[in-house]
Each structure stands twice: as structure tokens, then as C-alpha cells.
Structure 1
Amino acid sequence: MKTCRRKWFVQWVAAFVSIVLFGTYLGSLSMNTLTVSAICCRKDGFDKSRYTLTGNVAQDVATIAKSQAGRTCSDFGYSGVDYGAWCDEYVADCLENAGCDDSIVAHGGTVADFEKKMRKRGAVVVSSPQPGDLLFFSWSHVEIVTRVEGGTVYCAGGNNQGKTYPGGRCAGERNAQSVAKSMGGSIRLYLRPNYKGVNPNPPKWAKVTLDHYAWMAGETLTFNLSSEGGVAYTVGIDTENADGGRTRIDTHDTRDTSYSRSFNNPGKYSCYITTYNEYGLADSERIYFEVYDKKPENVSVSL
């Protein structure tokens, strides 16, 4: 009799412990459901005073991506599991702010999930990136191509300054290869969203010229802008560094066919333009010029 009671008691205790543990498990699920919210669309958290839409959706996506430089996760209102996984949502919100709807852009999930959802909406892998394309670094990060110049790809995105983690910042436009290197990885692929209005007639060419290529400091230079099929221009001006690199000093958007400015610092400079219409864009060749603080002496020309 005592043996039966003992067995009954042991079975009762085991059942009680199982119920308690199961209840604790359910409670933890409930807590997670309440405290962990999925990253969601925050396109209205963007500072829209920083950019102007042109109607060229791909270019507008690139412009929006780099316009939010310095802003943080909380500035946009993103929230989630760790406040760090918001690079794909930032990309999706850039597309939405440029006018893309849910037939083109997807939200939610990991970076890998985001890629799969974008492909289902018509995005395709491309080998020659253009502004507005999505750039995937390994499997954990994605940004937007902002420009391609001389074979160098530049990009911008969200949560790309890890020093402030958790939270992250928008670092603005950067060299894509340097981003990949800083992550200890590489560029995995470029994905072009299914932008509407694809047309076989994007701008065919762009050209920028100067009257001459040697100037005095303080003189006003007028860059002449021309294209076939373009409706607007982005002018990029760099200093040519002694180590062979370049430093961007001016970016100017205009619908005029000229752009004037002066240079107070002597040195070597270069300029190129991108022209675009609602269907695409075209880059010009880069031109080079020099600014002097005094007139050169002993100038000679030989054949």
C-alpha cells in the first residue's frame, strides 16, 4: 500500500513540475511577443527637406539614400530585436519615398529574406550597377548604389556606422569596396528593382567643357553642360590629390546648361557630370583643370 502511495506521489510531483515548466515557457513566449516588435516601414521618419524628387525613380532612390547622412535609428523610428537590423528596411523605405509601391518593394525579415522578396517582385541580378540598384554585402548587409565612376561603385544606406551600435547611423555616400573591406567580406551581388517606366531611350551621352583649363584663383569658371536626351544634370567636382586619389568638394544639381563657381585654393581639379531623364542616365568623360595663385612663368610649347 505504501509503495502505491509513493508511486502516486512521485507521479503527481512530476506532473506538477511539468505544468509549471510549461507555463513558464508559455510566459516567456508571451513576454517575447510583447517586447520584441518586428522592424516595419518608417518612410515618414525620413527628413524630406534634404532631397527633391525629379521623377527619375532610380536616381531619386540613390539621392534619398545618401541624403539622410548622420541620422540614427531612433531618428527614423525603427525598432526591433536589437535596433541594429534596419539596413534592409532603410533601403525599402528609400524606394517607397521615391514613389515605388508594394508591386516593386518588399518589407520585413532578414537581409536574405529581403532579397528573396525583392526577386519575387521582379528585381533582377545585374553585372553593371547603376544608381538605384541594391548592393548586397555577403548575407548580412545591403545598401543602395549612388553612382559609378571610373569603375568605382559608391553606395549609401542605413545602419552603416557600427561604432554607435546599437542604433547605428547613416554614413552617407562611400566607396563600396571600402565598405566591403571594413566588414571583412565582399560584394555578393547587385539587384535592380523592377522600376516602372523602363524605356529604350535613356540619355545617350553627356558632356562637360570649359573655355580653357588653366585659371587664376578667384576667377569664375563656367562649366558648359550638354547631353542628348537628358533633362537635368548632376555636376561633380573633385580635387586631384598628390597620391592619385580624389576628394569631392562640390556636388550640384541643375536643369540649366551651365554651372558657374570660383576656386580660391590653387591646385588640380576635375569635373564630370551625370545627366538623366525619367528612363535612365548617362555619365560624361572627366575633364581636368588647374588653378594657380600666380601666373605660370617660362611657359613653352614644343612639337
Structure 2
Amino acid sequence: AAKQAKQRLTAKSVDAGKYDLVLEPNHLGLTIHESVGHPLELDRVLGYEANYAGTSFATLDKWRSKNFKYGSDIVNLVADKTQVGSLGAVGYDDEGVKTKKWDLVRNGILTNYQAIRDQVHMIDQNESHGCCYSQSWNDVQFQRMPNVSLEPGTEKYSIDDMIKDVEKGIYIAGRGSYSIDQQRYNFQFGGTAFYEIKDGKIAGMLDDVAYQSNTQEFWNSCVKICDKDDYRMFGSFFDGKGQPSQISAVSHGSSTSRFNDINVINTGRTI
């Protein structure tokens, strides 16, 4: 930590432009939460959350097409209320439904949503996904985000391997400020620590970094995911939703991943 703090004192301000981004799990968790977890809540898709938190770009017609490219072919995003060690793991939800794991995106294609008993008939399914929750006995239960995670890559591939493959890029660790629109589509994310990657090597620390993209463009730019040896989970105890608002705990897992040709801006520049 002391070394990192010292490096930040002399970190150079980033040059805006296109970069390949190498994103650590402790950063990517927030991006997953905002660009996958929330837009695939079925009540949001149906407009039930519009007044408080917006709607979703991932509309039912896209899902019904069975070929909507949410991400690249290597992107597999799963919902899982049973994941050991996660903040959102329970045996049964607050409607008494046994919890489970299911696909949201498989091989890049949007395959499912998060839904409960009174919603599943709207997506031609017969069984709740087991993600109904209330924060206490005297609150109304409703659909809440399960653990949502990016599955690790299937090939042996380490962080060092990933950095070696990058000619011009930025390695991002930790969570920072972010902004995302009311349909969970256009967004901007910062981070805690940023390192320049030049010709396959870490070349020093950067400052004033944020990247901009949209959900579909971003996940379709995913070209490499480290294997299960790098898989890590991070989460939040305070995910808010509903009116009156309720909080819930949720985790997001991933391995370090690379996203090519992403637009990076300099947040320190003045006009």
C-alpha cells in the first residue's frame, strides 16, 4: 500500500484514446453489477422499476430473438443463489423457493433473466428462479439480484500471460466512481489504481483514468478471460432497490479479463 501511494504521487496523467483494458476482479465486479445484474432484472425490463431506477435496454424482444449478442463468444454470465462463500447465498428465497444457479448469458447470447413466481409466466417459464427477498420480516418481498458472475476462461491463462499480449493498454484495479444511464446501457467507470501497459510490460502508474462504453459494445470486446486459478469474488452489503427502498447483499465473481479497443478519457482535464 505504501509503495502504491508513493507511485501515485508521480503517476502521469493518461492520454485519452483507445486502449486494451486488463480488468481485475476487484474492479470488474462493479461493472458486472451495473451492466449485467441490474439490466437483467425482469421487473426492471418490464418497467416496474422505472420511477426509481430506470428500465433496461435488454428488452423481451431481444431475448425472444434467441440471438441477441450481449457479449463475445467467450462471455458466460451466470446467476447463482447457491454459490459457496458468496454474500447472496441462501437455501430458499423469501417465497420458500429452493435456490439454484442458471445462465443469463451463454456463449455471448442473452438466454434468461432474473425472475420470481409472479413474473416467470411472462418469459414462458414455469418455475421461479428463487431470487425473491425482503430485508426484514415487515417489508414486502420482491425480485432482487442474485450473485451474478463471469465464468472463468477454459484455457490455462494467467495475468502475466494477458499483460504480455497487450501492446498498448491499461491495467485497472479496484472500484472507483461510475455513471450509467437509466437503461443500463451507456456508462463510464473509474477505478482505484491504473497501470500503463506498453509492449507487454507494466510501464508505470497512470492517473485521471476512466473508460466509456456501452454494455453491448463492452462485453463484445471481451477477448480473454483468465482461468479458474485467478477467480475471485467481491460484493456489496448495500444494493438498493424498490420504493420504499430495501437493501440486500450480493457478490460478483470473475477472473481478470481483457477488453480490447475501449475508449479512455482523461478525467483531470479542464476546459
TM-score range, shorter chain: under 0.3
Q: Structure 1 or 2: larger helix share? A: 1
Q: Based on CA coordinates, which of the two structures has the bigger radius of gyration?
A: 1
- The TM-score, its normalising length taken from structure 2, stands at 0.25
